[in-house]
Homo-oligomer: A and B are copies of this chain.
């Protein structure tokens, strides 16, 4: 009997030391298992971060729940995350207005730095003697049935053989573990690139180190078929991301066309970014693609499992990629607890129950791009939102609007979608009822 009441200490290899991989290693370490973490790149804590170009992410309740489990929530919320209480919509004339995320209880999402958070979780694993970390280890072969992995040590150029009781693939959207899984029969898989790409720009801090825009907002410039957003960074800069069809990017091939484009659609952003920097960053960069991956099952018997982007890469428009990956770790931990670390029960159950929710958030994220870049500016959206907010205020436990249930609860994503469906039905009947009442009213009056 190992410590922590474990029947058996498992040797677990976690492939991928990104956000989800390192969090999963930490969860497993807390359960008392022997964890070896393998990461292709070098230790992110030793990588110098390009100032103002850090990619930031929106942390919401699912992610916070996981961080709370491993004792890091308070640190992140109090010392690092920048609360964003509302969307700030920028019109083409430069004027703005707010759309709160949660008018009822004032809950926020938090802008956090990917590298900072990753480093923090990795550092936390150092408090556990049962975690070994191996950076610069590239997975080159995997026999998932046997729990055998071969890594190339990119420092020494030597190969390393690993045998584990359990392999967890948390190695991202282009997962090597998933690639090995695809050779299994009956593995359903789809990858879809959307026709839009993204390009990152930067709004630097003022000379005295202040934010150039109101800080506690996610800024959005919705322009119908494309949009720009900005999330605040700790150093008072903003990471600005332009999402647009590739063909539109292609059409902007000179300083002139670029400045024409920005003057027409994002005039208020030009002085913020700075004309020179805009030209340099835009014409010096090239748009990156956006990929969605769906697959199932997530496990190979009781030997291997994929989680995070490896299992379900989503487009970024619901801000749920990291949150969904962190939630995988939380749910997996609950199953370890419930099934007393019995992998033969844990892995199939995780796979059979989780895919509906990850498929749901994938579809929601696709849909939310249209909402963010287009619908958000329409009166119909604002009317629906006002109605949702009113009913949410009236019936807080019953009527939870879609965005709130996804972002501020841990309700399974597929239930969030189902909720929305019955809410739509109710509103439709309410609409019929109002029409009927008006009709009866007019009739009574005329009679």
Residues of A within 8 A of B (CB): 182, 185-193, 289
Contacts and interface: CB of A to CB of B under 8 A. Distances in A.
B190 A185 contact: no
A323 B193 CA distance: 29
Contact of A192 (B182, B188, B191, B193): B188
Contacts of A191: 182, 187-190
B190 A190 contact: yes
A185 B190 CA distance: 14
Contacts of A182: 191
A190 B289 CA distance: 18
Contacts of A187: 191, 193
A192 B191 CA distance: 12
Grouping DSSP codes into helix (H, G, I), strand (E, B) and loop, the A interface class, with mixed when no group exceeds half, is strand
Contact of A193 (B188, B190, B193, B289): B188
A126 B189 CA distance: 40
Contacts of A192: 188, 190
A186 B187 CA distance: 21
Contacts of A193: 185-188
5 contacts: A182-B191, A186-B193, A188-B193, A189-B191, A190-B192
Nearest to A174: B183
A185 B188 CA distance: 20
Contact of A185 (B185, B186, B189, B289): B289
Contacts of A185: 193, 289
6 cross-chain pairs, A with B, having the tightest CB-CB distances, nearest first? A190-B190, A186-B193, A189-B191, A188-B192, A185-B289, A186-B289
A289 B192 CA distance: 24
A188 B191 CA distance: 6
A146 to B, nearest CB: 22
A192 B185 CA distance: 11
A207 to B, nearest CB: 39
A208 B289 CA distance: 65
Contacts of A186: 193, 289
Given A188-B192, A188-B193, A190-B191, 13 more contacts: A182-B191, A185-B193, A185-B289, A186-B193, A186-B289, A187-B191, A187-B193, A188-B191, A189-B189, A189-B190, A189-B191, A190-B190, A190-B192
A172 to B, nearest CB: 15
Contacts of A190: 189-192
A186 B189 CA distance: 16
Nearest to A182: B191
Contacts of A289: 185-186
A193 B189 CA distance: 9
A359 to B, nearest CB: 13
A417 to B, nearest CB: 21
A176 B191 CA distance: 17
A189 B193 CA distance: 9
A186 B195 CA distance: 9
A187 to B, nearest CB: 7
A325 to B, nearest CB: 22
